[in-house]
Amino acid sequence: MTAQDSKLGDTDDKIFVGKGDEQAWLTLALANRHGLVTGATGTGKTVTLQVMAEGFARAGVPVFAADIKGDLSGISEVGEAKDFIVKRATEMGLKFQPDQFSTVFWDVFGEQGHPVRATVTEMGPLLLARMLDLNDVQEGVLNVAFRVADDNGLTLIDMKDLRALLDAIVPDAGKKAADAGESPLADIKKEAQGFGNVTKATVGTIQRQLLVLENQGATKFFGEPALTLKDFMKTDRDGRGMVNILVADKLLQSPRLYATFLLWMLSELFEELPEAGDLPKPKLVFFFDEAHLLFNDAPKALMDKIEQVVRLIRSKGVGVYFVTQNPIDVPDRVLGQLGNRVQHALRAFTPRDQKAVAAAAQTFRPNPKLDTAKVIMELGKGEALVSFLEGNGTPAMVERVMIRPPSARIGPITPEERKAIMDASPVKGKYDTAVDAESAYEMIQKRIAGTAATADAGAAGGGGGILGQIGSIVGTIFGTNVKRGRLSTGQVIARDVTRSVTNQVIGGMAANIGKSVAGQVGGSIGRTLVRGALGGLLRR
């Protein structure tokens, strides 16, 4: 089937991307082999990204993409039949048909889209250490803090929870007077010291880095209700994939927060989705713009995990497309996983630019008709060198093509149009209001005030007939009516088996109420936490 034979150029199993001497088709069954879109500023990368996103959405594949400049928001509005668009479509044998796509806007700061939140527990120590730019010693102390929180049922939801926990594990300075009494947090401090030398100076450094992160706006990111990733993987009433756009113009002002946030999302998808094998089309396509920020100064341990996630997430039915200026921005071991390539023009003004041109040319399967390195520097706006995977999974020979025009609007939408889309959003109201549940901060404050044990003992032992007996039994099982310095037998049992018990006893409730409440309830009853590939919470 040719481009002329199908609506807007796409077929049931392919996306029509562009045309030169040959037509460039992206095969949906091979789209989860990942891809790379590169080129200098102003060469048409964003339009190419929009063309690909539209093609996936038409095929019923949900899309997630970061919108750095605001230009991608136009995908939500009907395209305009401008002369240059109609002319290019006609030259390719297409009949331009204006279209628009169901879109959900997201924003970490909650200003131009629905808020995106994660709990500190879900972020995990590895990614949080990356976000805070910690050294090995500081990262080690952060891991100790997370382990203490896991062992003591201290749910880490927001930044104040993490601050309170870090304060709690700091060792007491000097010797106390004989009548001073034991600190209400003595067991936490002792446990932390048992994992290694936790010093006040190291904790102080982490606290200062948290302040830097808070000043960048991360306070709004950590909290509840936390994002449910299945909300990214929906189709509209017509069976088209929803286009999820992360408004990232402000977020990009904090590059480390931006990169770590997107990496967290990728790791969450990796952990949550089941194995899918080879599918006719992906479950989700993830576009990672300004991808070089992900790899800048990344330590080897994190690079190993990134490579692992990119390599293995393909089997979960997720395609990852990195968008950046130079191919050399992406490490070789990750670059080798990116089978579908679109290369816009590069300019060789510096030795590094010349190296990038040579590297880009070498990554393509040669075409005897093209001098790839020379063509890369000659490409006009909207032109690209393209090599997509063919039926047997091998790269096609590189072709010089003109990228087809998008069918939705090119360029940003107005604030009024954005508001209308958000008001009609399928997730309106679900994430818009933050919830401050009882978590580590409140638990620690109760212990310091000495009220928790008294309240628990009064509730469990104050008579009350059958209710009092039930309270006593529950208190014994979960350890609320025993001294906090050591775990009761019931606490040990609860901590080790709560995952299976929770699934059987309150699983239905958690499924109905949602991830947010499940996080609050599950943490408070001492569930065992298992951390996944990138240090986040693995929910099983």
Give residue-wise pLDDT tens across range 17-76: 999 999 999 999 999 999 999 999 889 999 999 999 999 999 999 999 999 988 999 999
Judge whether residue 176 has pLDDT over 60. Answer: no
CB 233 within 8 A of CB 60: no
Overall residue count recorded for the chain in this entry: 540
Give residue-wise pLDDT tens across range 338-372: 999 999 999 888 888 888 898 889 889 999 999 99
- Report the half-sphere exposure of 444 (CA within 13 A, side-chain side): 24
**pLDDT at position 464, please?**
46
Q: Does pTM top 0.85 for this prediction?
A: no
Give the pLDDT band of residue 530 (cuts 50, 70, 90). low
Judge whether residue 201 has pLDDT over 50. Answer: yes
Q: From CA 257, how far away is CA 294, in angstroms rounded?
A: 10
**pLDDT at position 456, please?**
52
Rg (CA), the chain: 27
Backbone angles phi, psi at 114, to 5 degrees: -65, 140
Give the pLDDT band of residue 452 (cuts 50, 70, 90). very low
Among the listed ranges 147-151, 250-254, 300-304, 420-424, which one has the minimum average pLDDT value?
A: 300-304
Judge whether residue 447 has pLDDT over 80. Answer: yes
Backbone angles phi, psi at 504, to 5 degrees: -85, -40
Percent of the chain at pLDDT > 70 equals 80
Q: From CA 97, how far away is CA 81, in angstroms rounded?
A: 8
Give the pLDDT band of residue 296 (cuts 50, 70, 90). confident
Judge whether residue 306 has pLDDT over 50. Answer: yes
Judge whether residue 475 has pLDDT over 50. Answer: no
Judge whether residue 396 has pLDDT over 50. Answer: yes
The residues near 90 (Cβ < 8 Å, ≥ 6 apart) are 96
Mean per-residue pLDDT, 308-316: 91
Judge whether residue 519 has pLDDT over 80. Answer: no
User: Cα–Cα distances in Å, from 478 out to 15, 49, 370, 381, 495?
Assistant: 56, 52, 71, 65, 9
* Helix, strand or coil, per DSSP, at residue 522: helix
Give the pLDDT band of residue 457 (cuts 50, 70, 90). low
Give the pLDDT band of residue 181 (cuts 50, 70, 90). low
| Token reading at 280 | 């006719």
Judge whether residue 512 has pLDDT over 60. Answer: no
By the 10 Å C-beta count (0-12 exposed, 13-18 middle, 19+ buried), 515 is classed as buried
Mean per-residue pLDDT, 399-424: 96
For residue 108, the tally of other CB atoms under 10 A from its CB is 23
Q: CA geometry: angle at 92 spanning 88 and 98, to 5°?
A: 60
When the pLDDT of each residue in the chain is averaged and rounded to a whole number, the result is 83
Mean per-residue pLDDT, 110-121: 93
| Token reading at 481 | 């009516």
Give residue-wise pLDDT tens across range 3-19: 333 444 677 899 999 99
172: region left, alpha or beta (phi > 0 left; psi from -120 to 50 alpha): beta
Q: Give DSSP secondary structure letters for 269-307.
A: HHHHSPP--S-SS-SEEEEEESTHHHHTT--HHHHHHHH
Give the CA-trace dihedral at 360, 363, 369, 374, to 10 degrees.
20
CB 391 within 8 A of CB 422: no
Strand 63-67, strand 243-247: pairing: parallel
Q: From CA 305, how far away is CA 287, in angstroms rounded?
A: 19
Give the range with max mean pLDDT: 38-52, 216-230, 257-271: 38-52
Give the pLDDT band of residue 86 (cuts 50, 70, 90). very high
Q: Give DSSP secondary structure letters for 414-455.
A: PHHHHHHHHHT-TTTTTSSS-B--S-HHHHHHHHHHT-HHHH
Mean per-residue pLDDT, 101-108: 96
| Token reading at 30 | 């091979």
Give the pLDDT band of residue 196 (cuts 50, 70, 90). confident
Q: For every residue of 89-112, which 3-state class applies, written as one string?
A: HHHCCCCCCCCCCCEEEEECCCCC
CB 374 within 8 A of CB 399: no
Q: From CA 236, how far away is CA 512, in angstroms rounded?
A: 22
